[in-house]
Amino acid sequence: MKTIQLHRVTLVVLVLFVSMVALGQEEYKSYEGQLNDADTKKALSLASITVKGTNISTITNAEGDFLLKVPAEISDAMVVFSYLGYETKNMPLKDLKPKGNKIQLNISITALSEVSIDAPQNPRRLVEEVLETKGQKYVSDPTLMTAFYRETIKKRKRNVSLSEAVVNIYKAPYSTLKNDAIKLYKARKSTDYSKLDTVALKLQGGPFNALYVDIMKYPEYIFTEESLDNYNFTFSNSTYINNRLIYVIAFNQLDEIINPLYQGKLYIDAKSKTLTSAVYELNITDRDLAAQLFVRKKPNNVQVWPTEVAYRVDYRNSDNKWYYSYSNVLMEFKVNWKNKLFNSVYSMAAEMAVTDWEVNKDEKSPKFRDRLKKSIILNDEAVGFSDPEFWGEYNIIEPEKSIESAIKKIQRQLKKSTPSNGTAMP
C-alpha cells in the first residue's frame, strides 16, 4: 500500500527553547445574543446565523453567544438561525434587539418512513458520487470571501497565545485544481511566554490550517480513489439541517491499516447529494507516526506527540450552489522533558468563518508578495490588542469567556503602559 499523504502538512507545531475581502460598510448595526435548545436550555455552539437575501453570516461560539453586524441600510430582512438536528428558525431583523437576544431552537424529529423511501443502500458509493459531482454543485465561479480567523494555544486551560485576523480568501472554483489564495487584511495577537515553561509552541500555516479542512476543495488529502479502500463506510441515523433531510455516514479506518488515518461522520444532503458538514478526527494508531505529521522542530531532550486531532467543516447553500462557510481544527499535545517527572499538556485550536462573499467577476487575485505563505506563523505577523474597536463593521466569532477575559487583561496592561499623552509604548 502506498503511504497516504495527509493534508495537514501545514498544521505544524514548532517547539523551541525560549529564555523564559474587505466587504464592510461604514455604517452598521450590531445584534448580540445567545442560541439555546428550547427544552434543555443548553447553549448551541457553532450554530449558523445568516441574513436572508444576502451573503452575510456568522456563527455562535462554544458558549452559544453570537454577534451579528449588518449594514444599516438593511432593515427588513429575515435572520435565519440553523443548527444540525434542529428546526430552522426565521426571525425578522427588526425584532432583534442590540443586546440580550435569547433565541431557542426545537429538535427536529426524523420520520422513519421518510428516510426509507429511495434511500441509497451503498454508503461508499454515495460518498464517491458526492466527490465526483463536486464541480457541478459547489461554487463554480471565482469567489472573493471575507472571513474571520482565530487561533489559540492553551497550557491546560490557561490561554498562552491568541491570534485573530480578518482575511480575504480568493476562492477558486471547485471544478478546477487551482488552489485558493489568502490575503491578510487585519490581525492582532497576544502571547504570554512566561506561561510556557521554557517551551514555545507555534502553529505554522495560520488560516491555511482551517482552509485545508475544506474536503470538497481538497479531497485528495483525505479521500482519494486509493485511500477510500482503507475505510469502512456505514449509514448512521439521519438528521436535519435547515429543514433538509441529511444522510449521516460514519467512516472508520480498517483494522489492518497501520498508518494514522481518520474516523468520523459525513453529513450528506439527501436531495442534492452534497456534503453539508463533516466531523472527524485523526486515528492515532501510533503516537510516533502521528508526531512526525505535526512536529516540525523540537529540542533533542523533549518528546512531543499529539493525543487528539479533530476537524470540522460546514458548507452553506446559496442559489442552489454550496460553498465553504466554516471549519476548525482542535489539537492536543503532550510535551515530555526527559529530566522532568510530569508531562505538560497543550491544546491548539484554529477556526475560520466566512462572514461575507461575492463573485469575483474580474477574477482578481492578490500579487504574490501580498499573499499569505503556507509557512506563515500568524502570531509572529500580527499586532497587539490595543484597539477595542479593531474589527469595526466586520463580523467575528464572539470570544469565549476565557478568551474575552484574556483580551480585557491585555487591554488593562496596555493602558497601564500608555503615557499620559496617549501614545502607546512600543
Strands of 64-105, DSSP E: 65-71, 78-82, 89-92, 101-105
Q: What is the mean pLDDT of residues 30-37?
A: 95
Q: What is the mean pLDDT of residues 194-206?
A: 68
Give dist(CA 203, CA 165) in Å, integer: 14
Q: What is the mean pLDDT of residues 152-179?
A: 89
Give the CA count within 13 Å in the CB-facing half-sphere of 369. 0
Report the mean per-residue pLDDT for the chain.
Answer: 83
Q: What does the chain come to in residues?
A: 426
Q: Is there a contact between 140 and 363 (Cβ–Cβ < 8 Å)?
A: no
Taking only the tens place, the pLDDT of each residue in 390-401 is: 888 888 888 887
* pLDDT on residue 328: 94
Task: State yes or no: pLDDT of 31 exceeds 60.
Answer: yes
Q: Which of 116-125, 257-266, 373-382 has the highest mean pLDDT?
A: 257-266
* pLDDT on residue 336: 83
* CA dihedral of 38, 39, 40, 44, whole degrees rounded to 10: -30
- Looking at per-residue pLDDT, the higher value among 240 and 252 belongs to 252
Query: Could you tell me the three cell numbers for 232?
Result: 469502512
Give dist(CA 148, CA 351) in Å, integer: 8
Q: Which residues contact 109 (CB under 8 A, 6 or more apart)?
A: none
Give dist(CA 261, CA 252) in Å, integer: 9
Name the pLDDT band for 126 (thresholds 50, 70, 90). Answer: very high
Taking only the tens place, the pLDDT of each residue in 6-29 is: 444 333 445 444 333 444 445 889
Q: In 10 A of CB 260, how many CB atoms?
A: 20
Alpha-carbon torsion 396, 402, 405, 410, what sign?
Answer: negative
Phi first, then psi, for residue 403 (nearest 5°) are -70, -40
Q: Which residue has the cell 501580498?
A: 370
Which amino acid, one-letter code, is at 343?
N
- Looking at per-residue pLDDT, the higher value among 173 and 118 belongs to 173
β-pair type (143-155, 344-359): antiparallel
Reduced to 3 states (helix: H, G, I; strand: E, B; else coil), residue 211 is helix
Q: Which residue has the cell 512600543?
A: 426
292, containing H or E segment: helix 287-294
Task: State yes or no: pLDDT of 54 exceeds 80.
Answer: yes
* pLDDT on residue 129: 94
Give dist(CA 212, CA 197) in Å, integer: 31
Nearest of 52, 150, 209 to residue 398 by alpha carbon = 150
pTM: predicted TM-score of the whole model, two decimal places: 0.84
Which amino acid, one-letter code, is at 230?
N
Give dist(CA 293, CA 383) in Å, integer: 29
- Looking at per-residue pLDDT, the higher value among 241 and 89 belongs to 89
β-partners of residue 159 are 154
Percent residues over pLDDT 70 in the chain: 83
Give the CA count within 13 Å in the CB-facing half-sphere of 387. 9
Query: Could you tell me the three cell numbers for 253?
Result: 479506518
Q: Which residues contact 167 (CB under 8 A, 6 or more apart)?
A: 146, 147, 149, 182, 183, 184, 185, 207, 352, 372
* pLDDT on residue 22: 43
Q: Where are the alpha helices (DSSP H) in 353-392?
A: 378-381
Tell me the Cα Rg of the chain.
22
Give dist(CA 329, CA 58) in Å, integer: 18
Q: In 10 A of CB 357, how many CB atoms?
A: 25
Q: Is there a contact between 309 and 199 (Cβ–Cβ < 8 Å)?
A: no
* pLDDT on residue 413: 60
- Looking at per-residue pLDDT, the higher value among 129 and 377 belongs to 129
* Cα 228 to chain centroid, rounded: 24
Name the pLDDT band for 422 (thresholds 50, 70, 90). Answer: very low
* pLDDT on residue 412: 64
Give dist(CA 349, CA 351) in Å, integer: 7
Q: What is the mean pLDDT of residues 218-242?
A: 89
Taking only the tens place, the pLDDT of each residue in 298-349 is: 778 888 888 999 999 999 988 888 999 999 999 998 888 777 766 788 889 9
* pLDDT on residue 7: 42
CB-count exposure of residue 17 (10 Å: 0-12, 13-18, 19+): exposed
